Amino acid sequence: MAVRLSKRMGALAQMVTAGNRLCDVGCDHGFLPIFLVQQGVIPSAIAMDINEGPLAAAREHIAAYGLQQQITTRLSDGLSGIKEQETDTILIAGMGGALVIHILTEGRKVAQSAKELILQPQSEVAQVRRFLWQEGYDILAEDMVVEDGKYYPMMKVSFASTNRQQEAPTEAAFLFGPLLLRQRHSVLQEYLLREQKIQREVLGRLQAQEQTDAIALREREIRAYLAQIDGCLAQGE
| Segment 7-34, tens digit of pLDDT | 999 999 999 999 999 999 999 889 999 9
In a domain, 2, yes or no: no
| Residue 212 and residue 96 in one domain | no
Residues of the chain short of pLDDT 50, as ranges, are: none
Spell out the SS3 assignment of 59-102: HHHHHHCCCCCCEEEEECCCCCCCCCCCCCEEEEEEECHHHHHH
> Domain range holding 209?
187-235
Going from the C-alpha of 227 to that of each of 39, 222, 231, the distances in angstroms are: 44, 8, 6
Look at residues 43, 12, 37, 38 and name the one whose alpha carbon lies nearest to residue 25. Answer: 12
Residue 178 lies in a domain: no
Degrees (nearest 5) of the Cα angle 236, 180, 45? 165
Same domain, 98 and 22: yes
Rounded to the nearest 10 degrees, the angle between the axes of helix 7-15 and helix 31-38 is: 60
Do 159 and 198 fall within a single domain? no
Let me know whether 17 and 114 are in one domain.
Answer: yes
Q: Tens digit of pLDDT for each residue in 109-142? A: 999 999 999 999 999 999 999 999 999 999 999 9
Q: 120 and 191, same structural domain?
A: no
At position 25, the amino acid (one-letter code) is V
Both 123 and 46 in one domain: the answer is yes
Whole-angstrom distance, CA of residue 121 vs CA of residue 94: 6
The whole-number pLDDT of residue 167 equals: 80
**Alpha-carbon distance 117 to 100, whole Å?**
11
Residue 181 inside a domain? The answer is no
Residue 177 lies in a domain: no
pLDDT of 37 reads: 97
- On whether both 97 and 212 belong to a single domain, the answer is no
- The per-residue pLDDT for 2 is 78
The pLDDT, as a whole number, for residue 237 is 61
- The gap from C-alpha 7 to its chain's centroid, in whole angstroms, comes to 14
Integer Cα distance of 199 and 205 in angstroms: 10
Q: Are residues 229 and 158 in the same domain?
A: no
Q: Which of 131, 166, 201 is the last residue of a domain?
A: 166
23 shares its domain with 70:
yes
The number of domains in the chain is 2
Gap between the Cα atoms of 26 and 23, Å rounded = 9
Task: Say whether both 206 and 146 belong to one domain.
Answer: no
CA dist 92 and 15 (Å) reads 12
pLDDT at 235: 84
Buried/exposed code over 57-74 (b: 16+ C-beta within 10 A; e: otherwise): bbbebbeebebeebbebe
Residue 80 sits in the same domain as residue 149: yes
- Give how far Cα 32 sits from Cα of 29, 46, 112, Å: 8, 11, 23
Q: Is residue 191 part of a domain?
A: yes
Q: Give the per-residue pLDDT at 165.
A: 66
**Phi and psi (nearest 5°) for 87?**
-140, 160
Same domain (yes/no): 40, 117: yes
Domain boundary among 166, 195, 222: 166
